[in-house]
């Protein structure tokens, strides 16, 4: 019975962990002493054997204790090694994962790069000038093939920079803009060579090469040829290489980009050449080039004083070929204005907006310029012109220079300092008669607003003389009407009447006639003239505005407010009706509403001095 008890005790003790071993040994010794003392009273021999047995068990526990210590140290070392191995494995896993991600990233970049190269190749429409061939005798004189190719490249670049055209803005992948480049054959396989091969296989590049040879008489002949550029030879004296490269560049330009070449001819006033080129080039031109040729043909007809209706027919043919050829939509509006149909031009602008899928939409903002002009949407007009200039080498894509146009808009916004700066920073162009003409009209308008009637009349008369040039009048339909109020203010009523008699069916001419009649005291005649102006183009704001101002001068404030409200509805971004409306509200004692109108007007003409002064005076009065 006792052995069973001891066996059970030992079994329990052997199950102890190494953490409990010291406590187990101490308990065993205490227990052995207690048992020996208990048994000694019964049988000395049993007590002795019990003590011996318990001593052996104690020794065993001591050995186990030492073993557990050693085992614990080994186990801790093993755990540390396992931890280090685990950290190494984790680091290796991270490294392997990172390397795999890096490989995937590199493969992705390479794939994207290759896809971009393929896309660029498919959409490529460059003109690539390859080195020309020249005999050793000319090379010894510095006229080797690379020199000739560079000279041709320079002349092509000059033609490009001198061309105002919207063609590059269409889906041609910048056919000329910054894409004319000298291509020297490479050795070995490289990314550049792969790109070149892809462009040759899938692209639409025009490669031009040629020869420069010396004639038996000592002259030079330059021959150019390429895909899409039939061979042509140009001859000159030994000192006329520049002449030859210019002629060759013009020839290459006309064959590789006919629409832009036609625009260039029109821009440098080579009008007869432009019309003749458009007539002969359309039949054989690529479908993408034909709308541009028709557009330039129409523009040149207008610039030389030809038939506006013929021009309009050509533009409508261009739109029929390419419904989203927005510059033709823009010019259709201009032709309708030239015909005196400003209401029709406004409707054409609305049709363009519908075709473009609202505004902003597919049509670039610059092609809403005529619509913005008619509705006095001045801030949008200004922003579009500035954006067009910044996107096209500082000159824009319109026929006339952008600087005076910007000045004109700034003057309409009553910001004379900005208008003056725009005029001062306009680059001179002897081929652009609109620059001096628009400079006169802008300075005349600023003088009139400053109260200098004599200066205003002088500037407007100079503009009137320039307006006789069809290249000017076609670019600014209706601007001649502004001469009349300047002459009237300067005390020249006969000149004012003469301008209005021949001014045409423009809203400005009709409303200025009404203003002049009102100032002369013919109020009934003025009222009828205002009504005629509104009937001429009921969707335009200018006639309502002038009528409202005149009614306010005659003390008819309710009627004036009604007309000015109409003007605001037709031209919601025009500051002038809002200011005039606020002025009427002040006279009616409605200060709160007047302040609201002044604040709204300031959003559209923030630098208008008189507007800010009126608003400040009213605010002070309110306090």
Whole-angstrom Cα distance, residue 129 to residue 622? 72
Residue boundaries of the structural domains of the chain:
2-99, 127-256, 506-623
- CA quadruple 322, 471, 370, 321: dihedral, nearest 10: -10
Residue in 165, 79, 205 with CA at minimum distance from that of residue 388: 165
Whole-angstrom Cα distance, residue 377 to residue 280? 40
- Band (pLDDT 50/70/90 cuts) for residue 171 is very low
List of residues 6+ apart from 28 with CB closer than 8 A: 13, 54, 57, 58, 61
Per-residue pLDDT tens for 341-375?
999 999 999 999 999 999 999 999 999 999 999 99
- CA quadruple 211, 216, 218, 223: dihedral, nearest 10: -20
The residue among 111 and 120 whose pLDDT is bigger is 111
Q: Is the dihedral of CA 353, 355, 359, 362 positive or negative?
A: negative
Tell me, what DSSP letter sits at residue 482?
G
Q: Is the pLDDT of residue 77 over 90?
A: no
CATH hierarchy code of domain 506-623: 1.25.40.10
List the single range of 82-86, 255-259, 535-539 with lowest mean pLDDT.
82-86
- Band (pLDDT 50/70/90 cuts) for residue 179 is very low
Stretch 544-566: mean pLDDT: 98
Q: Is the pLDDT of residue 598 over 60?
A: yes
Q: Is the pLDDT of residue 247 over 90?
A: yes
Residue 33: the pLDDT is: 63
List the single range of 315-324, 388-397, 528-537 with lowest mean pLDDT.
388-397
- Helix, strand or coil for residue 129? strand
Report the predicted TM-score, pTM, of the whole model to 2 decimal places.
Answer: 0.76
Stretch 380-398: mean pLDDT: 82
Alpha helices in 181-307 (DSSP H): 191-202, 241-256, 258-267, 271-281, 290-303
List of residues 6+ apart from 311 with CB closer than 8 A: 298, 299, 301, 302, 331, 335
Kindly indicate whether the domain formed by 127-256 is annotated with CATH number 1.10.940. Answer: no
Whole-angstrom Cα distance, residue 352 to residue 314? 17
Residue 493: the pLDDT is: 98
Q: Is the pLDDT of residue 309 over 50?
A: yes
Q: Which two tokens stand for residue 576?
A: 């002038």
- Bond before 360 cis per omega within 30 degrees: yes
């Amino acid at each position: 019975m006792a052995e069973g008890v001891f066996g059970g005790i030992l079994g329990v003790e052997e199950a102890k962990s190494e953490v409990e071993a010291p406590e187990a040994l101490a308990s065993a010794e205490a227990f052995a002493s207690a048992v020996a003392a208990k048994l000694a009273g019964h049988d000395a021999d049993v007590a002795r054997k019990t003590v011996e047995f318990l001593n052996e068990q104690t020794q065993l526990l001591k050995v186990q204790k030492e073993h557990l210590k050693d085992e614990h140290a080994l186990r801790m070392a093993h755990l540390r090694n396992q931890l280090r191995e685990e950290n190494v494995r984790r680091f290796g896993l991270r490294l392997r994962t990172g390397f795999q991600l890096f490989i995937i990233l590199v493969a992705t970049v390479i794939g994207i790069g290759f896809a971009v190269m393929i896309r660029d190749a498919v959409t490529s429409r460059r003109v690539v000038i390859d080195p020309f061939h020249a005999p050793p005798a000319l090379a010894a004189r510095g006229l080797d093939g690379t020199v000739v190719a560079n000279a041709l490249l320079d002349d092509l670049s000059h033609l490009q920079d001198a061309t105002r055209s919207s063609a590059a803005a269409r889906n041609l992948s910048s056919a000329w803009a910054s894409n004319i480049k000298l291509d020297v054959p490479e050795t070995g396989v490289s990314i550049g060579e792969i790109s070149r091969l892809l462009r040759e296989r899938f692209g639409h590049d025009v490669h031009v090469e040629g020869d420069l040879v010396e004639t038996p008489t000592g002259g030079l002949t330059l021959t150019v040829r390429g895909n899409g550029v039939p061979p042509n030879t140009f001859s000159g004296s030994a000192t006329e290489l520049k002449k030859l490269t210019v002629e060759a560049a013009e020839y290459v330009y006309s064959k590789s980009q006919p629409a832009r070449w036609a625009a260039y001819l029109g821009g440098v006033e080579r009008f007869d050449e432009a019309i003749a080129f458009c007539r002969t080039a359309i039949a054989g031109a690529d479908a993408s080039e034909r709308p541009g040729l028709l557009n330039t043909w129409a523009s040149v007809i207008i610039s030389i004083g030809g038939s506006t209706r013929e021009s309009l027919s050509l533009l409508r043919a261009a739109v029929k070929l390419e419904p989203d050829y927005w510059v033709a939509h823009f010019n259709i509006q201009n032709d309708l204005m030239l015909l005196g149909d400003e209401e029709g031009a406004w409707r054409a602008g609305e049709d363009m907006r519908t075709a473009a899928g609202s505004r902003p939409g597919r049509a670039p903002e610059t092609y809403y310029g005529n619509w913005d002009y008619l509705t006095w949407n001045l801030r949008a007009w200004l922003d579009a012109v500035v954006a067009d200039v910044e996107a096209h080498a500082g000159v824009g894509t319109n026929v006339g220079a952008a600087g005076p146009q910007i000045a004109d808009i700034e003057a309409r916004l009553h910001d004379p300092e900005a208008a003056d700066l725009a005029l001062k920073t306009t680059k001179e162009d002897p081929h652009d008669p609109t620059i001096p003409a628009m400079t006169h009209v802008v300075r005349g308008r600023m003088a009139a607003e400053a109260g200098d009637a004599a200066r205003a009349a002088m500037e407007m008369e100079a503009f009137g003389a320039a307006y006789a040039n069809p290249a000017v009048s076609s670019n600014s339909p209706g601007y001649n009407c502004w001469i009349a109020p300047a002459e009237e203010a300067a005390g020249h009523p006969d000149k004012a009447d003469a301008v209005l008699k021949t001014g045409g069916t423009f809203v400005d001419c009709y409303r200025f006639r009404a203003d002049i009649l009102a100032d002369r005291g013919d109020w009934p005649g003025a009222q009828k003239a205002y009504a005629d102006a509104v009937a001429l183009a009921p969707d335009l704001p200018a006639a309502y505005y002038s009528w409202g101002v005149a009614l306010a001068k005659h003390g008819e404030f309710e009627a004036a407010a009604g007309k000015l409200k109409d003007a605001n509805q037709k031209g919601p971004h025009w500051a002038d009706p809002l200011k005039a409306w606020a002025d009427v509200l002040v006279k009616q004692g409605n200060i709160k509403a007047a302040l609201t109108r002044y604040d709204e007007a300031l959003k559209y003409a923030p630098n208008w001095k008189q507007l800010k002064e009126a608003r400040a005076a009213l605010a002070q009065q309110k306090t």
